[in-house]
Amino acid sequence: MSFASKVVIVTGASSGIGAATAVLFTKESADVVIVGRNESKLKNVADKCALSGNTPFVINADVSNDDDAKRIVNETIDKFGKIDVLVNNAGLFHAGSIIENNILEAYDKVMAVNLRAVVHLTAVAAPHIIKTKGNIVNVSSNAGKTHSLPEFIAYNVSKAALDHFTRGAALELASSGVRVNGVSPGPVKTDFIENNAMADVSWDKMAPLVPLKRVSEPEEIAELILYLASEKAKGVTGSDFICDNGGLL
């Protein structure tokens, strides 16, 4: 599945699923642009990619900042002249509850990154992706299909909305030859718990809760993203590929 001469932007590439995705696209010979805020983690990922053959272009940016989002696209175009694939992976969690009266704070924080930034980056990148007849992959979650713990409400709503945005974008961009799909993982061993200071949560506690009794590795999700971005998936658009070890069952 060669991505030679393809330009791939991966947001949230400083750890977890985004980092694994950047490494995998690099192994498939893509020119990869890695985006995140944590400089030292981005450097580690860049070094890992370099071991796979190609040093990625690093953009230190906050996807929820409108100027940064435009800069991600402009710097990619200045460097490579085109965009073939956009992987909207950056995401975060913030606890919030209706009764505790902190739902709006959580809603604003997660919506800004998990949804608004995706909508904005898609709009800014679309003219370039239309030119290459490329595609977009959005990283959602099985949490967008159901509710678990009450304090996850804002996160779950953001991912449900992202799923519907994926379908709407797929419909609008289909006439321009651009595909838009989503992947929806269940628990994946990443820095997500640590990055979002999630108390009383651990990957080990999650494994027994799902039918396959396991938690995924980031590379499993990266493989799905790579497939959806490839020519093998040329008939797939508006889809949402769930990879949750049977969690939704």
Which listed residue (25, 57, 80, 155) is catalytic? Answer: 155
**Which residue type, as a one-letter code, is found at position 140?**
S
- Contact code string over 108-147 relative to ligand NDP, x by CB under 6 A: -----x-------------------------x-x------
Q: Which stretch binds ligand NDP (CB under 6 A): 85-93, 99-107, 126-134, 167-175?
A: 85-93
Choices 15-23, 69-77, 79-87, 172-180 (CB under 6 A): range interacting with ligand NDP:
15-23
Q: Tell me which of 7, 73, 188, 229 binds ligand NDP, using CB under 6 A.
A: 188
Nearer to ligand NDP, 42 or 178 (CB): 42
57 counts as binding ligand NDP under rule CB under 6 A: no
Task: Report in angstroms how near the CB of residue 85 gets to ligand NDP at its nearest.
Answer: 16
Which of 12, 96, 134, 182 binds ligand NDP (CB under 6 A)? It is 12
Q: Is 26 in the site for ligand NDP (CB under 6 A)?
A: no
Q: Alpha carbon of 217 to those of 9, 18, 139, 193, 248: distances in Å? A: 21, 12, 15, 14, 18
Of 129, 187, 229, 242, the residue at the interface with ligand NDP (CB under 6 A) is: 187
Q: Is 21 near ligand NDP (CB under 6 A)? A: no
User: Which one of residues 26, 76, 89, 245 is an interface residue with ligand NDP (CB under 6 A)?
Assistant: 89
**Is 227 a catalytic site residue?**
no
How far is Cα 181 from Cα 183, in angstroms, rounded to an integer?
A: 7
Distance between CA atoms of residues 62 and 11, nearest Å = 9
> In the set 15, 76, 135, 166, which binds ligand NDP (CB under 6 A)?
15
Judge contact between 130 and 176, C-beta under 8 A: yes
CA 163 to chain centre: 12
Question: Which residues within the stretch 193-232 sit at the binding site for ligand NDP (CB under 6 A)?
Answer: 195
Q: Are 70 and 46 in contact (CB under 8 A)?
A: no
Does 64 bind ligand NDP (CB under 6 A)? Our answer is yes
- The CA distance from 37 to 55, in Å, is 18
Cβ atoms 65, 116 nearer than 8 A: no
Going edge to edge, which strands form the sheet with 135-139?
57-60, 31-36, 7-11, 85-88, 135-139, 179-185, 240-243
For 23, residues 6+ apart whose C-beta sits below 8 A from its C-beta are 45, 48, 49, 52, 222
Q: How far is the CB of 40 from ligand NDP (least distance, A)?
A: 9
Q: Which residue shows structure tokens 């709009």?
A: 123
- C-alpha count within 13 angstroms, C-beta hemisphere, residue 123: 11
Q: What single-letter DSSP state applies at residue 216?
A: B
Interacting residues with ligand NDP (CB under 6 A): 11-18, 36-38, 41, 62-64, 89-92, 113, 139, 141, 185, 187-188, 190-192, 195
Task: Give catalytic residue positions.
Answer: 155
